[in-house]
Structure 1
Amino acid sequence: MDINGARVLVAGATGVLGGALTAELAGRGARPALAGRDPARLAEAARAYPGAPTFLFDAYDPASCARVVQGAADALGGPDAVVTAFGSVAFGRAAQVGDEIAEHLMAVNVLAPAAFFRAALALMAPGSLIAAFTGVVAEHPQAGMADYSASKAALSAWLAAARREARPAGIRVLDIRPGHLDTGFADRPVAGTAPPMPAGGDPRRVVTAVADAMAADAELLRTAPDGTPVVEQRAR
């Protein structure tokens, strides 16, 4: 897709990754719409993009996610891309993480993004794109993060199935699987404490690669062992 002039909704634009991606896309000429859950942070993020539409959503309310997509379509004249860059993490042994935490992770990390994309796919024209940050745990589940890994793997599976449905319509589905990044995300778990982790990668490097992948109509972005982002044109 041609990013210059593209109408892009970024859900999670108030976060580190979502904010960096919004800046990267806007720097390439995209017309962003910003969505987040905190009114003050959303207003602060929007100051960098005068005139950009903003929307509040609650990841526990899938209907609010769908309303954001429709609102962005009305404001921009239709979405060319919808990207989700939000989520929750929890740590702890599989036998110790409670059902309530597991349900929370599934609601925020799977059902909410799916609600955004379900609404988007119903509106999108050929050449459009949906994209989500799943992470390396989607393919390499980690001990002490069973429920978080499962939620990201579930989202990746949803994207894989939706991709097969969307290809004939000319709509791309991009699965973004970076390794551990220096965003502070692991320091804000809904439960547990993060185990020792290696130094996180540079999120700016990743969002540059994400924008490149979007421009190339790629289907997968992963991280090589040396931390280099790798864009794959077609997901396996």
Structure 2
Amino acid sequence: MSAAQTGAGRDLDGARIAVVGATGVLGSLVAEELARRGSRLLVVGRDPDRLATLDVGVPVEADVGDAAAGTAVAAAAREHLGGLDGVVNAAGVVAFGPLADTPDIVVEELFLTNVIGPLFLLRRLLPLLEESGGFVLQVSAVVAERPMAGMAAYSASKAALSASATALRLELRRHGVQVYDVRPPHTETGLAGRPLSGVAPRLPQGLAPHLVAARIVDALAVGQLDVGAGDFA
């Protein structure tokens, strides 16, 4: 691992962290793991009913694809936490099938949720993260490393998210903000059964979500900025 891929570990006890996509399976488990390690949380999601079921953090109803989401998260961070030390983006959507069979609106939604929205969000949270010398962690996917046939648009969206993390790691270094890019292999979150379009191909048994969530939080704790699919073996 190169020096560019490592940084100072984070002290998670008392850290003020927003978990975006906290109503998803992986996001909720990441939030629970962070809470177990003493972090103070905002849990951000677009489903108010599922937000109400979470036992950790301050709920913030917001859709990552909405440019106003970052403004809402920043306001909640200042009001409830007095600032922000980090943001974990675990929001994401998937679609399957040949590109020729993928509706335009699905391609648009993939990029809005998986790439554009996270960039909108980060633009609005950067002042808080620069104040604290904080971090952003993007949960990408193995297809960013190994794009798959029948998943062209999804693979491209996750590769774009990873590319933005690599660029921002350099861009934000002088501001003292760490950028993590995590690309888990297939994980049994049930997301493959809820695609925007198409039908999932036969996939190998995925990893247990709670193990992936713990590995993500471990990366924060030790300062492992780049976590590829092979790092989950």
Same fold (TM over 0.5): yes
Cα distance in 2 for residues equivalent to 1:156 and 1:223: 13
Unaligned runs of 5+ in 1: 231-236
Cα distance in 1 for residues equivalent to 2:184 and 2:118: 17
User: Could you say which residue in structure 1 is the equivalent of 2:16?
Assistant: 7
Q: SS where residue 19 of structure 1 aligns?
A: helix
Paired residues for 1:43-62 under 5 Å:
43-45=52-54, 48-49=55-56, 52-62=57-67
User: Could you say which residue in structure 1 is the equivalent of 2:232?
Assistant: 229
Paired residues for 1:192-211 under 5 Å:
192-211=198-217
Is the deviation greater in 53-62 or in 119-128? 119-128
Paired residues for 1:1-236 under 5 Å:
1-45=10-54, 48-49=55-56, 52-124=57-129, 125=131, 127-224=133-230, 229=232
Cα RMSD of the aligned pairs, angstroms, is 1.4
Q: What TM-score comes out, normalization by structure 2 length?
A: 0.91
Q: State the 1:223 CA deviation.
A: 2.4
Cα distance in 2 for residues equivalent to 1:180 and 1:164: 28
Q: Which amino acid aligns with 2:120?
A: A
User: Could you say which residue in structure 1 is the equivalent of 2:5?
Assistant: none
Q: Which amino acid aligns with 2:171?
A: E
Q: Cα distance 1:66–1:166, how it changes in 2: closer, same or farther (>3 A)? A: same
Identity %: 43
Q: Which amino acid aligns with 1:68?
A: V
Q: Deviations over 1:108-138 (max 9, x none)?
A: 1111111222222222135411001101111
Do 1:3 and 1:25's aligned partners in 2 also have CA atoms closer than 8 Å? yes
User: Could you say which residue in structure 2 is the equivalent of 1:234?
Assistant: none
Cα distance in 1 for residues equivalent to 2:170 and 2:201: 36
Q: Which amino acid aligns with 2:211?
A: R
Q: SS where residue 196 of structure 2 aligns?
A: coil
Q: State the 1:191 CA deviation.
A: 0.2
Q: State the 1:206 CA deviation.
A: 1.4
Q: Which amino acid aligns with 2:60?
A: F
Cα distance in 1 for residues equivalent to 2:194 and 2:70: 23
Q: What TM-score comes out, normalization by structure 1 length?
A: 0.90
Cα distance in 1 for residues equivalent to 2:117 and 2:45: 12
